[in-house]
Copies of this chain bind each other. A is one copy, B any other.
C-alpha cells in the first residue's frame, strides 16, 4: 500500500534539497518565476541557448518548459533540454501556454508532448487544446481568447484523463478548483484566490513550483498536488494583505517564503479519489 500524500513531507523535502531548477520559459514569466522559486527555497536558472541547454539540463535537478513566447530557436533548445533531462533521469514539466491559439503553437505543443514530460500543467483551455493537438481527443471550439482560460476546469477533466493515460504524464488542470490525474488516481485542490489570475504569469510560475518539487525528489503525483495546494494557500494568505492585483504579488511572495511544512499540512484542501 502506498504512503498517503503528505504536503508536510513534500515541503520539508523541498526545503532540505533546495534544488537547482532549469527553466526555459517565456519573457513575461521569467522574473516572477525566478522570484517564486527563490521564495519557496529552490534555486532557479534560466538557460535557453542551444549551445548549452542540453548540458545544463543534465546538471540541474529538474527542467521546466513553457511555450509562452515561443520562437523556432527556443523550441529547438526545448527539445534538446527535454531529451537531455530524460536521458539523465531528471523529471521535466511542460506548460503548454495558449497551445490552441495558432498552428505553430499546436505543432510545438504536440512535439514536446512526444518527448514524455513527467508533468503537464495548464489551464482548462490549454489541456483541451493539447489533447486535441496530439490526436487524443476532439478539437475544441476556438474560444478567441489568448492565454487566459475560457473553459472551466470541469470541461477539461476528460481530456486530462485521456492525456495522462496516453502520455504517462501527471496532468494538472489549474483554475478555480484544480484537477490532477495520473490516469488512474485523481485529486482536486480547492486552495486559491480570485486575485491570482489578475496577476500575469502566476500560472507559469506555478509550473516552476511543480518543477522544484520534482527536483527535490517528490513523486510526480504527490509533488504536483502539494505544489498546487501550497501555491493556493499562499494566495489565500496574500489576499488578506492586498488592496488589488498590484499589492497582491509582493504579499504572495512573502507568503510563499513564510509558509512552513506543518502550516501547509493544515491549510491544504486536497480531495483524492482512486
Contacts and interface: CB of A to CB of B under 8 A. Distances in A.
A98 B102 CA distance: 32
Given A244-B39, A244-B253, A147 B258 contact: no
Interface string A174-190: 00000000000000000
Interface in A235-266: 242-247, 249-258
B253 A201 contact: no
B28 A31 contact: yes
A30 interface: yes
A155 to B, nearest CB: 19
A123 to B, nearest CB: 13
Contacts of A251: 243, 246-247
Interface in A170-213: 197-201
Nearest to A48: B69
Copies in the complex: 3
Nearest to A197: B38
A159 B244 CA distance: 39
B246 A34 contact: no
A101 B59 CA distance: 9
Contact of A71 (B44, B49, B246, B258): B49
6 A-B pairs closest in CB distance: A246-B253, A244-B254, A45-B146, A34-B200, A246-B250, A52-B102
